[in-house]
Amino acid sequence: MIFFDTTKAGRSGHHSGIQRVSARLRTGLGALVGQGFAAVRWDAAARQWTRADGSPVTPRAEDWLFTPELFGEAERPGFSAWVAQPGCRTAAVYYDAIPLRLPHTTWPQSVARHPGYMKLLAGFERVLAISETSRAELESYWAWAGAPRRATVTTFPLGADGADRPRARNRERPAGPPALLMVGILEPRKNQALLLDAAERLWAEGRDFTVHLVGRVNPHFGAAIEQRIRRLALRQPRLRYHGALADTAVAALAEQCLAGVFPSQAEGNGLPVIEALWGGLPCVCSDIPALQEHAAGGGCLTLPAGDVDAWTEGLRRVLTDERLVEELGRAALNRPLPTWRDTAEAVRAALG
């Protein structure tokens, strides 16, 4: 039996990367396991696992409790004691240590929770990291912190078929002036500011292209970039901010674009990159480790993170070099990409 943690997923209104991973895993594992799968949540008052109707759950020794969520003792009273003596087999997804690496651009609650969260993970039987970058990061943190560990850490793929569309097998260059698409929450880490800096330089040269930005605003750190976007859009109609969009709407918008752009400063995985590649859209990415893992398969042009001169030149090439874009597009269409079915099967195999 696999008991699947939905403590936060059941009440969160955000369509964050973690929430999307949780939803996809719940659907995929549920379909694979059938009657051997059940959603549960941590009841903070009772300090135990319960079903959605509040009835208590006591997993047996051979069962798995699998969590794709972030957690800490402050928000889940009694959870540390349960991890120490769970009475069943335990597994968790690990995303990244961005709250520790970039605390000045991360929600204060996340920064405060993360050290305890990463130490609690060491007490699980299996930890599944969303990239090789994340796996190495977690093990390095445990070694640095001297955390006692029983966990075995492996990586698993995230699915590229987020919009539930068939894999693109051909792609025509969109008609009219080219357009670039960036998908990601508005915050310093995603680095929309660098994209705007490069775009303004290229528009000043007379380049005719559109920039589409998609993503909700980080309520703690996104106000400044949102204000800049809205001010610039008033005098530059080729900049269009769409806010948060459903996956299907993002996929439809991508069909109108020449390339996806991802100038992030840090990522655990960078799921929007492989979702863009699924549709055959070439991508321009920062050369940070997690995105280099995606770029290695083809279809991506990598540029130095934070280097506005390099990004200006790189985007100029994408906008003017049809041969480059065609080569990237062919690579995107022909490279292997995992599906969420593959993700669920990898999790089931890891649990044994």
Burial call 207-241: b when 16+ CB within 10 Å, e when fewer: bebbbbbbbbbbeebbeebbeebeebeeebebbbb
Q: What token pair was written down for 300?
A: 């991506």
Helix (H) or strand (E) holding 240: strand 239-241
Closest CA to 185 of 110, 238, 112: 110
Q: What token pair was written down for 116?
A: 């305890």
What pLDDT, on a 0 to 100 scale, did the predictor assign at position 107? 84
Tell how far CA 228 is from the center of its chain.
Answer: 25
The residue behind tokens 């130490």 is 119
- Dihedral of the CA atoms 177, 181, 186, 187 (nearest 10)? -110
CA distance 40 to 180: 41
> Which residues make beta-bridge pairs with 259?
180
Cβ atoms of 301 and 331 within 8 Å: the answer is no
Q: Mutual orientation of helices 340-351 and 17-33 as an angle, nearest 10°?
A: 70
DSSP 8-state secondary structure symbol assigned to residue 159: P
CA distance 191 to 286: 10
- Tabulate helix, strand, coil % of the chain (nearest 5): 45, 15, 40
- Strand 48-50 with 2-5, pairing: unpaired
Q: Is the dihedral of CA 196, 199, 205, 206 positive or negative?
A: negative
Amino acid in position 186: L
CA distance 208 to 198: 13
Per-residue pLDDT of the chain (352 residues; tens, 9 = 90+): 999 999 988 665 566 889 999 999 999 999 999 999 999 999 999 999 999 899 999 999 999 999 999 999 999 999 999 999 999 999 999 999 999 999 988 888 889 999 999 999 999 999 999 999 999 999 999 999 998 999 999 999 999 998 889 999 999 999 999 999 999 999 999 999 999 999 999 999 999 999 999 999 999 999 999 999 999 999 999 999 999 999 999 999 999 999 999 999 999 999 999 999 999 999 999 999 999 999 999 999 999 999 999 999 999 999 999 999 999 999 999 999 999 999 999 999 999 8
What pLDDT, on a 0 to 100 scale, did the predictor assign at position 17? 85
The SS3 assignment for 212 reads strand
Give the domains, in start order, of the chain with CATH numbers.
Answer: 2-159+340-351 (3.40.50.2000), 179-334 (3.40.50.2000)
CA distance 40 to 2: 10
CA distance 299 to 287: 14
Cβ atoms of 89 and 64 within 8 Å: the answer is yes
CA distance 63 to 38: 11
280: left (phi over 0), alpha (psi -120 to 50) or beta: left
Q: Is the dihedral of CA 271, 274, 280, 283 positive or negative?
A: positive
The residue behind tokens 């996809």 is 24
- Is the full-model pTM beyond 0.85? yes
Q: Is the dihedral of CA 257, 259, 264, 267 positive or negative?
A: positive
